[in-house]
Amino acid sequence: MSLLDNIHSPADVKALPAEALDQLCRDIREELIGAVSKYGGHLASNLGAVELTVALHRVYDTGRDRLVFDVGHQCYTHKLLTGRQDFTDFRDLGGMAGFPRPDESVHDAFVAGHASDSVSVALGMARARTALGADYDVVALIGDGALNGGMALEGLSDAGKSGEPLVVVLNDNGMSINESVGGLAEMLARMRTRVEYIRFKKWYRRAIMPRVPRLNRLLTGAKRWLKERLIPDNIFGDFGFEYIGPIDGHDIAKVEKALRWAKEYRAPVLVHVITQKGRGYPPAETAPEAYHGVGAFDVASGVLRYTGEDFSSVFGRTLTELAGEDEHVVAITAAMMEGTGLIGFQEAYPDRFFDVGIAEEHACAMAAGMAAQGLKPVFAVYSTFLQRSYDMLIHDVALMGLHVVFAVDRAGIVGRDGVTHQGSFDVAYLSSVPGMKIYAPSSFDELRSMLRKAVLEDTGPVAVRYPRGGEGGYRGDSSDKTAESVYFHGDDVTIVSYGAEFNEAMMAARMLRGGGVDPEVIKLNVLSPLDAEPVLASVRRTGALLVAEEACAAGSVGEKLLAAAEQAGIALRASRLVNLGDGLLPHGEPWKLREMKGLDNGSLARTVLEMLHGEDKA
């Protein structure tokens, strides 16, 4: 029988005797491996944080105290210990989320899907506690990779000098998704040697000091020299934190002792724990980056399910080819080398590949500096993470019209990672950037062609946005038609779409043709600057417009087309904009989310029939 069967709340964790905790951790790892192998999710990061999470729940009451996760992909053990052990609907529509969600449990203090914000959020909660005269503890759990983000340092700088009782737990496994990079990573690597120094010091006190006092005096200078090299200046102490560590993050007793001391100190404290990403599952220990975010896999062999070619891998190979043609092409990633398909580029051109860690703002500004000096930088980044660089897009890139290419991965519906990762907003925020050109490929061939144009032919800022996963039924390449391509010439209704959603629009058009409706389908290749004239020419004839797009409503292409029709004096008898709406998109399988938003082919066809039969309310 698993000890997890008796864990219904953190109170049950606190009630366990210390000798039962190792078994509990083994049961948790078995549950995590089994659940993620079936439903996918983040595995290696959760396996590495099991003992740390158990210790946190033995010291704090997360129903009252506030535990703020950074990123949050390591929260699965936390969910298991707070009454959420049913993974059958994990990351599915209406089911348990893969990240902390306060609307899911009182034990989740804050939504966490992006890195580097936990210290700032936790300090805000601590200051609110003081202002309101409340009584609870606040803990921020941050990984070493997230320290690369400038926001983390901003938060540490303010929190350390604030005097607020606050505990920051640094979970240091030497990795973000890939291996951690940069000066902070090197500093933490040096700080880990403090353990070696402490062991040496204990031996020295026991073996040398009592027996050879004269040698002890002679070695004092040598000890000081050794300490200065093994224990570097502590940046956290400079920020104003009382520093504890480093501690073995898999030794629950030691972690629990440190957390209790930190809790009672009533001032800013940073507890530095060392953990192993993927611990307890040999395949994940050996290749933690491969098991960071995974689909279903075979537990016994560790073989990951093969998903075939996808847009990310096509992008990576194409960019590598372009780099072979032009020595000015360089690639930039923010700790997403594998996710954005850049492993091959890094191997082929290591001197032209730059992983800046989790620091999208820095990556964007650095790209601007490169472009200003004659390079052709390509910043590969997920849509949801590029949001963090919005100021740099305008101030550092657009103001000078610099030729920086943004490879915007995971544009549109992402799926099971949910609300924090859906690529809903890039069409709106990128099209607001002066001079930005936006390509929207719908197939692998179009991605290849449009990326080539963006890198080698265009000038100024350019974005190429493409979806997660593989291509659909459309396999063509209409990129030679710069702005648009017309499919299915017709007279009854104009259907406009782009990107991955074009597959659904095409299927809907075929259904409509089978039912006697004659649609005209237009695929947009360039979203900004938007050439509305081909669409206007079509709606002058059809009198009806439907625009289907995986983007938020505000700032959508559909809004721009309706405005253009109004300005052109075109009186539409029916119109409908089908998009992701004004809210936030939850987690779930992509096909279910499309159905929910009316973006699947069946819903689009029904919407057109409603429009043509006078039932349109738009």
Q: Which of 360, 446, 471, 549 is catalytic?
A: 360
The answer to whether 360 is a known catalytic residue is yes
Beginning with the edge strand found earlier in the chain, give each strand of the sheet holding 574-578 in spatial order.
Answer: 484-487, 519-524, 493-497, 544-548, 574-578
DSSP assignment, residue 295? -
Question: What pairs with residue 143 in β-bridges?
Answer: 171
Token pair for 320: 């590598």
For 533, other C-beta atoms within 10 Å of its C-beta total 12
Taking alpha carbons only, the member of 353, 325, 582, 562 closest to residue 456 is: 325
41: alpha, beta or left? (left if phi > 0; alpha if psi -120 to 50): left
Closest among 485, 464, 490, 465 to 474, alpha carbons compared: 485
Strand partners, 175: 179
Report the 10 Å Cβ neighbour count for 92: 18
Query: Could you say which of 388, 416, 465, 594 is catalytic?
Result: 388
Spatial CA neighbour of 407 closest among 323, 484, 332: 332
What 3-state DSSP class applies to 180?
coil
Annotation says 196 is catalytic: no
Q: Of 4, 116, 14, 20, which Cα lies nearest the Cα of 63?
A: 14
Q: Spot the catalytic one: 66, 79, 84, 277.
A: 277
CA pair distance 138, 122, nearest whole angstrom: 6
Report helix angle 21-39 to 50-59, nearest 10.
120
Radius of gyration of the chain (CA): 27
Residue whose tokens read 């948790």:
28
Q: Which two tokens stand for residue 614?
A: 């006078």
Beta bridge partners of 172: 274
Which one-letter DSSP state was computed for residue 234? -
3-class DSSP state of 390 = helix
Beta bridge partners of 138: 66
Q: Kindly list the distances between the CA atom of residue 350 and the CA atoms of 36, 250, 355, in Å, as whole numbers in the listed order.
A: 33, 35, 10
38 in active site? no
3-state secondary structure of 509: helix
* Residues in a beta bridge with 408: 381, 465
Q: How far is the C-alpha of 528 from the C-alpha of 520, rounded, in Å? A: 22
Quick one: which of 96, 88, 3 has its CA closest to 54?
A: 3
**Residues whose CB falls within 8 Å of the CB of residue 430, separated by 6 or more in sequence, listed in order:** 393, 406, 408, 436, 438, 463, 465, 528
Q: Give the number of other CB atoms < 10 A from CB of residue 488.
A: 16
What letters, b where the CB count within 10 A reaches 16 and e where it falls short, cover 171-188? bbbbbbbbbbbbebbeeb
Running DSSP on this structure, what letter comes out for residue 175? Answer: B
Could you give the residue numbers annotated as active site? Answer: 277, 360, 388
